[in-house]
Structure formats: structure tokens, C-alpha cells
Structure 1
Amino acid sequence: MAVGKWGRSVRKHKWREWSRLALAVGASTFLAVLNASAGSWSPGIAALLIGPLLACIRLDMRRTAAVAAWSLLLALAAGAAQRRVSTPGFVVEFLVLLAGSTLAVRNAAQYTATETALARAMEVAHASQNAILHPVSAQLGSVSVCTRHHSPVPGASAGGDLYDIVHTPYGTRLLIGDVRGHSLDALVTTAATIRAFRDLAYLTPGLADLAGALDARISPSLGPEDFVTAVLAEFTPGEVRLVNCGHPAPIRLGNQIKLLEPPEFALPLGLHPTPRLHRVFLQPGDQLLFYTDGLTEARDAKGTAFPLLERVGDTLTAPSPSDALDALYGMVTAHTGGPLTDDLALILCQPADAPAPSVVRYA
């Protein structure tokens, strides 16, 4: 299916290029025919510059140069048909056409170089983001962890979702967050936040103190309107400790499905939050789902949000955490009717020694 979509996209792109080329060539040809006619009025061969100008707007240098060469040949043919090639008026108009065509080719070259550089930058950005958010499917300490990251549809800019999991002397610690914005600057902030978490998670005993240390580390590099929503989690035997800084609350999956909202709202990182530690006791078989707002903001054609709490329990019938996350993403894209337009990060955690839950009900 993915190959089919890619093929249709390529064919559509090629069709647009050929239609633009045909329009530019057709405009020059039509004007040349008017000039070569024996009527009492003709637009002048300088008007053939319309073809190269149309080409340089959206076509590359090679195609624009072809249109420009075709226009110059048509101008000479039209002048020869009227026996005006040696007249001063024709020479002046031809020089105007030549100069304009040269500028059109130069403009197309600059446009092509800019487009190539931008495409390369976005390619590097997405490759860097995928390297930062590499998939995890492993046991860290006493916790089994599985992650997924889905980038936006082709053509969208780099996102700001982030996550990381480390095993520390204080337990297995997890960070999931979302940087404000979707640009290369957001990607830089994503990398800086993950780097700060890896540095500080091993050195800071308290989870709330870790949030404060992260805020102090990344705030100097943020703009006045930049911030990072985040959830920090720390797994210890029988419980998980949470600190939420303006991020969607995780979900506990087990005999009951519950949204683990913080006791009070805290500002995102970068805005100097004062979050409170939230302790949640876990039963055997409980799982925790962490996610970014690409899940909660997924909407169908009518604008209806994805019913997360009602549907998330269905994923527990999957044979493995990896299959569960794939099933959840399949449900979301079925709801939206296609790929998501925003980044989405998912993390599913379960104590490694706990049996899989057999009964799930919404509460």
C-alpha cells in the first residue's frame, strides 16, 4: 500500500511538471504564431518572454532554459516569416527577449538551488529526529518498554516530539514531551532536552527536582514563547511516580482504565514550573501508556476527537506490546481517515514480572 501511494504521488508530481511545461511552451508558440501572421496587428516578439517567465516560476533551470531556447527560435522564425530579422525594431525586441530569458533561467536556477537545499535540510532533520527517537523494545530494570514514533505525512516539517528511557540508581526513568512548534529550531530543542535528561536523570534523586533541573538547563536556550510540555516517570517496585509539566496525562491499563491526571496543573518546561510529585500504585498486570498530543488531537472529517479512553483497552488483546502500539496507531488512522498530520510518540510500559491483564473494562 505504501509503495502504491508513493507511485501515485510521483505520477501526480510528474503530471504537474509536464502541465506547467506545456503551458509555458504553448504560450510562447501562440504568441509566435500571432507575430508570424499577416494581420495588421501583432504583439511583438518581446511578448514571447511570457513563456520563460511562466516556466521560471515553478520549473527547474533545465526546463526553463528549454522554454527560453524554444521562445528564441520561435522569435527568429516569426521574424523570418515577416522578413523583419534585419530591421532595427526586430533586433531591439530580440535583445529584450534574450535578456529576459537569461534572467528567467537565472531565477529558475536560484529557485532550484533553494528547493534542493530546503529538501536536503528537511531530509537531514527527519533523519536526525529518527536517530534521536530510535525505537525501543527492551527490558530496562524491572520494566518492559516499547516505543513508537510516527512522523507527519510527507511534506510536513520536522516535529518536536521527544522521549527517552534510562535505568538509574533511583529506578527506571522515562521522559516524554513535546516541543512547541514544528521547525528545525524545535528539533534543536528536542535534542537539547533529551541530552539534558540523560545528564541529569542519573544525578538528581527527586523526580520533581529533576523537572526543575531540566527547566533550568534548557530555559536559557529557548525563545520568549518557546516551551516543552513533558511527563517524567520513575518506576519502583509496585508503583510509578509521575511529574507532569503541562503534558497529556498518561493512562493506566489493567482491570481498570484510568487517566492519571496530576493533582494540580503545572506549567511546561521553559516557563519555570513548580510541579508536584504524583504517586500511583500498580497492580499486577498494569500497563502505562504515555503519548503526545498527536493522539489526543487526532480528529475525523467531522472534527470529532479520537475516543482514546474508550478504544485504548482494545489494544491489550494484541499478543505483544509492539503489536499493541501498532494496533493503536491503526485505530487512530482509521478514525482520521489517513496518516496523521502531527507527530505522534507512544510508549507502553509494563513491569517485567507482571502477568498480562486478562480483563479490561472502562472506568
Structure 2
Amino acid sequence: MTVHKSASGSVMLSWLPLAAMAVVAVADVVVGPGVGFLPLVSLGPAFSGLVGGWRRTALVGAAALLVCVGLGLYDGLFEERRGFRAMASVAGVTVAGIVAAVTRSRREAELASVKSIAEVAQRVLLRPVPRTAGPLRAAVSYTSAVAQARIGGDLYEVVASPHGVRVIVGDVQGKGLAAVETAAVVLGAFREAAHDESDLVGLGERLGRSVARELEGERFVTVVLAEFGSGHEAVFLNYGHPAPMVVREDGSVDFPEPASFALPLGLGEHGTEGPRPYQVGFAPGDQLLLYTDGVTEARDSGGSFYPLGDRAGLLKEPDAERALETLREDLVRHVAGPLHDDAAMLLLRYHNHVG
């Protein structure tokens, strides 16, 4: 439906210059030369310069000059020089329209180049997570609060390391390029340290040092780290991030939290103790959803937060990608408009999951 409406709109815009000239010509013939409609023929090339290329604008301008000459002869305006003034007006607007069309085409080319660079940056920063990592099946969803944006301050990654499958989901304070830069620092440090550090605490400390070197002032990053070994359990390390959601095989929902909360990355220099790892049972048939606060803090028109726990049943779909997409669509419907914050979700299951 959206594509059809967009195509219809493009067709209407393409015919607008010719329609404008036709209306002016008919009005001039019906009303007569006394009203002075003839210079309005220049609306044709003016509109064409806004919606078409320079060649099309030049052709429309030539057509407008022919219409101007024809109507001028019909109305006898060249005897009073009014016809020449109308032609000069049409020629001037046509030149301006051609300049506008060329400028717009250059800007569109520059925008296409910037979008291409952004897509490359997305693949480097938020590259697709592996569909399988060790015994786990992974699916990810990212919804930006900024229209047409592809990257932001939310981050995620899944790494199959010698120490087990390690996962990170985080949220950088703030927005814009500074948040993207910080997310790149955290992800780069995680991808390297996930292979090198033998335990989750060491991995978290290494991330903290990397962030501390980059951040200034009161900026910070909330992060939850998860590790999956050979047993049926997950180990978490939480730096001020929303608690993960565990959906058991029987449909029950749990949001396991640490015994004590720790500050986000970047605020550790205040001298508080770092987070302690805690274990949660995670067996075949269970599902684990890691997410950013853009999900749980999304509000509807009445100000109610998104009830993530009540929507856990939407993840029954056997296909992980479809299940997560169903949940994302429900989140968007809840807000009934653009999100006010980026929303990232990472769904983990064992192979051969049964919904």
C-alpha cells in the first residue's frame, strides 16, 4: 500500500508542470488578455525544476515558451510588448529551474553517497549476529528512534569464544555521533576481550578500562554481559542495565536481577564496587531476551509503559526471527508512532527450540 501511494504521488508530481501550464492556457483563453494570466505559464518550468531533472526542466521551459508565443499571438500581446515581457519571464524562470534541478541532483547524489557510507558503518559497527553460536540460536532486532537512521547508541554482539558463547547488549547515554563513537569503542573492546579474558569479570573490567579512556564528564554506558558454557545455565554481569527476560518452556516469565546493582561503565571511577556475576538456569526450551530500555520505556498515548513481560507469549513462534519481529511490531503498535528512543532486542534459544 505504501509503495503504491508513493508511486501515485510521483506520477502526480511529474504531471504537475504540464497541468499548471494547461490550466493557465485555458484560463487565458476563457478570460481574455485583460487579466494578464500569460506570465503564469512560467509555473510549468518552476514546478519542473523542483521535481524533475534539468533536461526535463529545459523541455518544459521550451514548451512553456511555445505556449507563451501562441497565446501572445492569439491575444495580440506582441503589439504592446506584453508578449515579450511574458517570454522573458518564462525564460528567466526556466533558467532558474534548470539551476535548481542541477543543484538538487547534486545534493541527492551526495545524500546517496552518505547513505552508502552509513550502511558500511552499520555493517562494521552493528554487523549481523551469527545465526548460531555454540548450542545457541540468535536473532536480533534494532529499531531506531531517528527516521531513516541505521545506527545509534544501542549495541549488541554475540561471540563464540574458547570460554563459551559470550553476549553483550548495551545502551550508550546520549544520542548522535558521539553515542555511535562510544558504541564502537565498547564493541571493539568486547570483540577482542571476549576471546582473551578467561572469566566474565575480567571481560567486564577490560571493557570498563576501555570506556574510561574514551568517555568524558558524566557520560556512561549501561551493559549486560552474558556467558553460556557447557552447562544449562547463563552467567550474567550487569552494569546498570535492564534485567534480561527469561521465558521458560512452560511459558512462565522471569526477570533475574543481581543481588546488588553496579554503576554503568564510565562511572566506575567513583570508587564503587563492580558488579558480581550471577547464574540463572537456562535449559533447552527456554528463551532469553536481552534488550535496551527503549523497549520497556516505550509509552503509548496514555503514558503507559510497554508491558514486555505480558507480551512474552508473542515469542512462541518456532522461527526466532519471526518471533522477534512479531514482538517488535507489537512494540511499534503500542507506541502508535515513532519511538522516542532506540530499541534493541537480542533473542537467544537453544537449537531445535520448540515454542
Band of TM-score, shorter chain: 0.7 to 0.9
Q: 2:236 aligns with which of 218, 241, 250?
A: 241
Pairwise mapping of residues 199-278 of structure 1 onto structure 2 (< 5 A)? 199-203=192-196, 206-219=202-215, 228-235=221-228, 238-245=233-240, 247-254=241-248, 257-261=253-257, 263-264=260-261, 266-267=263-264, 269=266, 276-278=274-276
- 1:215: Cα distance to partner? 1.0
> CA 1:79/1:312 → structure 2, altered by over 3 Å: closer, same or farther?
same
Please say if 1:144 is aligned against 2:136. Answer: yes
Which residue does 1:279 correspond to in 2?
277
> CA 1:348/1:226 → structure 2, altered by over 3 Å: closer, same or farther?
same
Which residue identity does 1:135 align to in structure 2? V
Quick one: distance in 1 between partners of 2:180 and 2:50? 31
> CA 1:313/1:15 → structure 2, altered by over 3 Å: closer, same or farther?
closer
- 1:326: Cα distance to partner? 2.4
> CA 1:170/1:67 → structure 2, altered by over 3 Å: closer, same or farther?
same
Please say if 1:83 is aligned against 2:82. Answer: no
The DSSP-based 3-state class of the residue aligned with 1:210 is: helix
- 1:71: Cα distance to partner? 1.9
Which residue does 2:289 correspond to in 1?
289
Please say if 1:118 is aligned against 2:116. Answer: no
Quick one: distance in 2 between partners of 1:110 and 1:271? 50
The DSSP-based 3-state class of the residue aligned with 1:68 is: helix
> CA 1:260/1:326 → structure 2, altered by over 3 Å: closer, same or farther?
same
Which residue identity does 1:333 align to in structure 2? E
* C-alpha distance after superposition, 1:144-196 (max 9, x if no partner): 24122345699622232321122446554322124567767765554443223
Structure 1 vs Structure 2 CA RMSD: 4.1
Which residue identity does 2:247 align to in structure 1? L
Which residue does 1:310 correspond to in 2?
310
Quick one: distance in 1 between partners of 2:263 and 2:287? 24
> CA 1:101/1:180 → structure 2, altered by over 3 Å: closer, same or farther?
farther
Which residue does 2:4 correspond to in 1?
11
Please say if 1:330 is aligned against 2:326. Answer: yes
Which residue identity does 2:244 align to in structure 1? P
Aligned residues of 2:168 and 2:223 also touching (Cα < 8 A)? yes
Which residue identity does 1:164 align to in structure 2? E
Q: How many residues align?
A: 339
The DSSP-based 3-state class of the residue aligned with 2:187 is: helix
Quick one: distance in 2 between partners of 1:68 and 1:272? 67
> CA 1:333/1:47 → structure 2, altered by over 3 Å: closer, same or farther?
same
Quick one: distance in 2 between partners of 1:54 and 1:208? 59
- Relative to the length of structure 1, the TM-score reads 0.73
Which residue does 1:348 correspond to in 2?
347
How many percent of aligned residue pairs carry the same amino acid? Answer: 27
Please say if 1:133 is aligned against 2:127. Answer: yes
Give unpaired runs (5+ residues) of structure 2: none
Aligned residues of 1:158 and 1:183 also touching (Cα < 8 A)? no
Quick one: distance in 2 between partners of 1:271 and 1:175? 18
- 1:240: Cα distance to partner? 0.5
Give unpaired runs (5+ residues) of structure 1: 1-7, 359-363
> CA 1:229/1:106 → structure 2, altered by over 3 Å: closer, same or farther?
farther
Quick one: distance in 2 between partners of 1:71 and 1:35? 14
> CA 1:16/1:233 → structure 2, altered by over 3 Å: closer, same or farther?
same
Which residue identity does 1:240 align to in structure 2? V
Quick one: distance in 2 between partners of 1:79 and 1:186? 62
Quick one: distance in 2 between partners of 1:59 and 1:312? 49
Quick one: distance in 2 between partners of 1:209 and 1:177? 15
Quick one: distance in 2 between partners of 1:170 and 1:252? 22
* C-alpha distance after superposition, 1:245-267 (max 9, x if no partner): 4x332123337532234533634
Moved more, 75-84 or 233-242: 233-242
Aligned residues of 1:133 and 1:149 also touching (Cα < 8 A)? no
Pairwise mapping of residues 69-80 of structure 1 onto structure 2 (< 5 A)? 69-80=62-73
